[in-house]
């Protein structure tokens, strides 16, 4: 259709997003979105994916964005639908993922009647939207779509919200627009690079803390390897959006999660250079523990902000230091099958034995995450996706989007049993879309992290009520039945060799499978 042809607001919006290169819509529609659904019917360039809960839609859009660099659209049903979607929008915001959330609203003239589903959507979306496009007439639908797209892909990328009243969707003055020019991120000036070079040269023990999309990129990580060999310790954020890693890739250290340990670790350094990230802070506050993790004696300088081209800045820094990228070449012995009682470290080893090249790992494993991360450092090359915003429960949904962005690759979702129950409905979409995702559920029958945190926050001894609030026993969740109930193949294992066999077999299948690991 030509640019100036007049169409419905819903058609104009959807066609414009398709023109911008949007290829996926993760949806949970309601009555007010029927014209949007119809517009998606008319747009063969966008694949619509039904999710049984809105959090699945936004988690999937985040995973899709992290692996493709491209925003997906979501389709949400008024304020309550946005509420259901919010936790994973929060995580996406913290991952700097582009995402276009389209929230259907009542017709403009219907809102003032205060019908049951009415709420103040514009206020609701404010904290988690870098742009809010209110489509108050069909005529501006295409224009709003362009603005939303441009904002969501700008540096630093972030979710945007489009509020589409029903009469703007069905009204007939819409105009579709073409894809705008894509902004590029600003390069860091030479003077700044030189300042950093001078600072690291005069520091006794400099460290470089890296975050953002520099970690997506194997070449940049190879340069970081050279920087590390030069004598600058390379650290990365505790929960970056994505990290390229594996046996022939440089292994940077990670900022430690627990504040007191992180502070102690940073005390070794008199200089901390920030690249594409902010000064490290504690995940939570604790009585008598600092929230700001950099010791007073450590000087902090910025190489690049999150909004700048960090990959280029790191390259320039290495150039000025006279360094070339180092291709890591780790001696990796075959990993023997562990035996004895299964635990997270052994699960990591078993995963490392079988991890296919170019796999994707969606980590929502809470207490099991770090041991498995550690044990897979020398596995085949893969991308590790972290829980960036701390809103647990995203892992299944994130895996859906990652798998859809990378159809030829294998995605693994690693989840704690507690975390898995937030968006458990995601299993259904995996089956419907025939996504060959392998899900591990770590069934320790508790919110184990909270048992640790209870003590750390100084709340004191755990009494009867507190114990019940942190335990998932009584009744025990049977994840095999839950998965089968959503049409998914599933197995339960409790020994190392069982997991090894089930995993080996799972990789021969081209369908999703859930493996419950009883710890």
Interaction with its own copies in 32-51: which residues (CB under 8 A)? 32, 34-35, 37-38, 40-42, 48, 50
Contact with its own copies (CB under 8 A): which of 114, 296, 329, 331? 114
Contact with its own copies (CB under 8 A): which of 21, 69, 83, 371? 83
Contact with its own copies (CB under 8 A): which of 136, 137, 150, 283? 283
Under 8 Å CB-to-CB from 114, ≥6 apart: which residues?
A: none
Nearer to its own copies, 339 or 455 (CB): 455
Smallest gap from residue 322 Cβ to its own copies (A): 36
Nearer to its own copies, 402 or 454 (CB): 454
Q: Could you say whether residue 242 binds its own copies (CB under 8 A)?
A: no
Q: Which helix (H) or strand (E) holds 56?
A: helix 54-68
Nearer to its own copies, 61 or 203 (CB): 61
Smallest gap from residue 400 Cβ to its own copies (A): 15
How many of the chain's residues bind its own copies (CB under 8 A)? 105
Q: Could you say whether residue 102 binds its own copies (CB under 8 A)?
A: no
Q: What's the per-residue H, E or C state across 140-159?
A: HHHHHHHHHHHHHCCCCCCE
Contact with its own copies (CB under 8 A): which of 92, 134, 398, 477? 477
Nearer to its own copies, 52 or 301 (CB): 52
Beta bridge partners of 492: 516
Q: Could you say whether residue 391 binds its own copies (CB under 8 A)?
A: yes
Smallest gap from residue 218 Cβ to its own copies (A): 26
- β-bridge pairing 513-518 and 489-493: parallel
Smallest gap from residue 126 Cβ to its own copies (A): 5
Q: Which stretch binds its own copies (CB under 8 A): 192-200, 294-302, 435-443, 475-483?
A: 475-483
Q: Could you say whether residue 408 binds its own copies (CB under 8 A)?
A: no
Could you give the dihedral angle defined by the CA atoms of residues 77, 81, 85 and 89, in that order, rounded to the nearest 10 degrees? 60
Query: Footprint of its own copies on residues 311-370 (CB under 8 A)?
Result: none
Contact with its own copies (CB under 8 A): which of 5, 45, 127, 339? 127
Smallest gap from residue 79 Cβ to its own copies (A): 6
- CA atoms of 62 and 263, how far apart (whole Å): 31
- CA atoms of 37 and 46, how far apart (whole Å): 11
Residue 496 has a CB neighbour count (10 Å cut-off) of 19
Smallest gap from residue 162 Cβ to its own copies (A): 18
Contact with its own copies (CB under 8 A): which of 218, 312, 484, 498? 484
At 418, list the tokens.
Answer: 């507690």
How many residues does this entry show for the chain?
Answer: 519
Q: Could you say whether residue 482 binds its own copies (CB under 8 A)?
A: yes
Q: What's the per-residue H, E or C state across 348-412?
A: HHHHHHHCCCCEEEEEECHHHHHHHHHHCCCCCCEEEECCCCCCCCCHHHHHHHHHHHCCCCCEE
Q: Which stretch binds its own copies (CB under 8 A): 86-94, 138-146, 223-231, 337-345?
A: 86-94
Q: Could you say whether residue 453 binds its own copies (CB under 8 A)?
A: yes
Q: Which stretch binds its own copies (CB under 8 A): 307-315, 317-325, 403-411, 455-463?
A: 455-463
At 153, list the tokens.
Answer: 């892909």
Locus of tokens 């839609």 = 57
**Apex CA 211: angle with CA 208 and CA 215, to 5°?**
100
Identify which of 381, 387, 384, 364 has the alpha carbon closest to the alpha carbon of residue 373.
384
Locus of tokens 């802070």 = 281
- CA atoms of 386 and 365, how far apart (whole Å): 9
Q: Could you say whether residue 150 binds its own copies (CB under 8 A)?
A: no
């Amino acid at each position: 259709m030509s640019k100036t042809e007049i169409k419905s607001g819903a058609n104009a919006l959807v066609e414009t997003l398709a023109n911008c290169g949007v290829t996926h819509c993760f949806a949970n529609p309601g009555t007010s979105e029927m014209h949007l659904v119809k517009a998606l019917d008319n747009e063969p360039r966008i694949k619509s994916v039904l999710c049984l809960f809105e959090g699945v839609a936004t988690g999937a859009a985040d995973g899709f964005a992290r692996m493709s660099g491209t925003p997906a659209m979501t389709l949400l049903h008024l304020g309550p639908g946005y509420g259901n979607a919010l936790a994973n929008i929060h995580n996406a915001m913290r991952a700097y993922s582009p995402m276009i959330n389209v929230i259907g609203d009542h017709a403009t003239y219907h809102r003032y009647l205060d019908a049951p589903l009415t709420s103040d959507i514009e206020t609701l979306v404010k904290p988690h939207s870098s742009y809010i496009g209110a489509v108050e007439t069909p005529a501006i639908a295409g224009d709003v779509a362009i603005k939303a797209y441009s904002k969501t892909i700008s540096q630093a990328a972030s979710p945007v919200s489009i509020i589409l009243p029903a009469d703007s969707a069905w009204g007939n003055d819409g105009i579709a627009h073409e894809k705008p020019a894509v902004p590029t991120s600003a390069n860091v000036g030479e003077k700044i690079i030189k300042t950093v070079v001078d600072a690291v040269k005069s520091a006794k023990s400099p460290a470089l803390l890296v975050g953002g999309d520099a970690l997506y990129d194997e070449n940049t990580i190879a340069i970081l390897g050279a920087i590390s060999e030069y004598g600058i310790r390379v650290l990365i954020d505790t929960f970056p959006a994505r990290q390229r890693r594996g046996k022939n890739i440089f292994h940077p250290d990670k900022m430690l999660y627990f504040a007191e340990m992180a502070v102690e670790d940073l005390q070794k350094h008199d200089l901390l250079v920030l690249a594409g990230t902010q000064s490290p802070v504690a995940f939570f506050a604790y009585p008598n523990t600092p929230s700001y993790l950099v010791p007073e004696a450590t000087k902090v300088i910025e190489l690049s902000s999150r909004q700048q081209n960090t990959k280029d800045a790191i390259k320039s820094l290495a150039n000025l230091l006279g360094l070339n990228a180092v291709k890591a070449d780790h001696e990796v012995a075959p990993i023997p099958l562990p035996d004895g009682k299964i635990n997270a470290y052994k699960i990591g080893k078993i995963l490392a034995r079988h991890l296919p090249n170019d796999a994707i790992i969606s980590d929502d494993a809470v207490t099991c995450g770090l041991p498995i991360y550690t044990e897979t450092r020398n596995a085949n090359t893969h991308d590790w996706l972290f829980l960036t915003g701390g809103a647990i429960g995203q892992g299944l949904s994130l895996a859906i989007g990652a798998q859809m962005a990378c159809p030829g690759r294998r995605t693994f979702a690693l989840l704690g049993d507690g975390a898995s129950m937030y968006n458990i409905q995601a299993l259904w979409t995996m089956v419907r879309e025939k996504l060959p995702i392998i899900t591990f559920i770590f069934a320790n029958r508790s919110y184990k992290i909270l048992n640790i945190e209870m003590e750390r926050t100084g709340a004191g001894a755990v009494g009867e009520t507190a114990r019940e609030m942190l335990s998932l026993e009584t009744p025990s969740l049977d994840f095999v039945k839950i998965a089968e109930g959503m049409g998914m193949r599933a197995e339960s294992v409790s020994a190392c060799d069982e997991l090894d066999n089930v995993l080996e077999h799972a990789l021969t299948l081209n369908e999703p499978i859930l493996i419950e690991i009883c710890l």
